[in-house]
Amino acid sequence: MKIQIGHTLESSEIYGPGLRSVLWVQGCTLACKGCWNTQYWSSTGGITTSVDEIVEKWASTPELEGITLLGGEPLQQVGPVHALIRGARRMGLSVFLYTGYEPEELSTDMLDCFNMSDIVVTGRYVHELRNTNLRWRGSTNQIVHFPTPRYQALDIEEQHEVEVHLSSEGELSVYGYATDEFLTSIEVKS
């Protein structure tokens, strides 16, 4: 089964509990005003890859606690995303799913993905409600759900998180809730 993806991060510490592989699913038609990830809107952007290949990569990544799916809108490729979630669960990895949909907007297949995930953040990004000091969310209307018991006892300490990756050749990538001030100071934004 094929999936269109925008970006991947082999391991990260800011997209949920523990060390996680992160996948930005390509394509989103929800068009939230002020979206930070417009490069993932087009359904034909990014690259086409196979679900099996992604799952194999997770299997060979050391010390992973789980995977995180965001985008774009993961649930707009619900078939492959369902397969990815099943693959992760088979390996005992926890699943953190981001969706711009509200729970009541979910179709049966989407709801299946929701219910199989250990943590789900739902809701559009609302620019007027933007708050970069929230853990795992960008605006105050977004809600964190725990559909399975795995993390239900977890205490979410609200904090502002940014992750900077420096490749072996010195290339910088920044993830999370970085401010313009910080991005400009390290020359990632002019």
Report the interface residues with another protein, using CB under 8 A. 7, 10-15, 24, 32, 35-39, 45, 70, 98, 125, 133-134, 136-139, 142, 158-179, 181-183, 185-190
Which among ligand SF4, another protein, none contacts residue 65 (Cβ within 5 to 8 A by kind)? Answer: none
Single out the residue of 19, 35, 156, 174 in contact with ligand SF4 (rule: CB under 6 A): 35
Rounded Cα–Cα distance for residues 73 and 99 (Å): 6
The tokens describing 168, both together, are: 């072996």
Q: Is 72 in the site for ligand SF4 (CB under 6 A)?
A: yes
> Is residue 46 a contact residue for ligand SF4 (CB under 6 A)?
no
Could you tell which of ligand SF4, another protein, none binds residue 31, using a CB distance below 5 to 8 A set by kind? ligand SF4
Stretch 112-131: interaction string toward ligand SF4, x if CB under 6 A: ------------xx------
* Residues in contact with 34: Cβ distance below 8 Å, sequence separation at least 6, in sequence order: 125, 127, 130
Q: Which of 67, 73, 120, 136 binds ligand SF4 (CB under 6 A)?
A: 73
Q: Per CB under 6 A, does 71 bind ligand SF4?
A: yes
175 belongs to the binding site for ligand SF4 (CB under 6 A) = no
H or E stretch at 113: helix 108-116
Residue 8 interface partner, choices ligand SF4, another protein, none, CB cut-off 5-8 Å depending on type: none
Residues 6 or more apart whose Cβ sits within 8 Å of residue 5: 23, 24, 25, 26, 46, 47, 49, 54
Q: Toward ligand SF4, which CB reaches closer, 19 or 35?
A: 35
Token pair, residue 91, equals 């390996």
Nearest to 77 by CA among 103, 45, 104: 45
**CA–CA–CA angle 15, 119, 80 (5° rounding):** 85
Q: How far is Cα 98 from Cα 75, in angstroms, rounded to an integer?
A: 9
Binding residues for ligand SF4, rule: CB under 6 A, are 28, 30-32, 35, 37, 40, 71-73, 100, 124-125
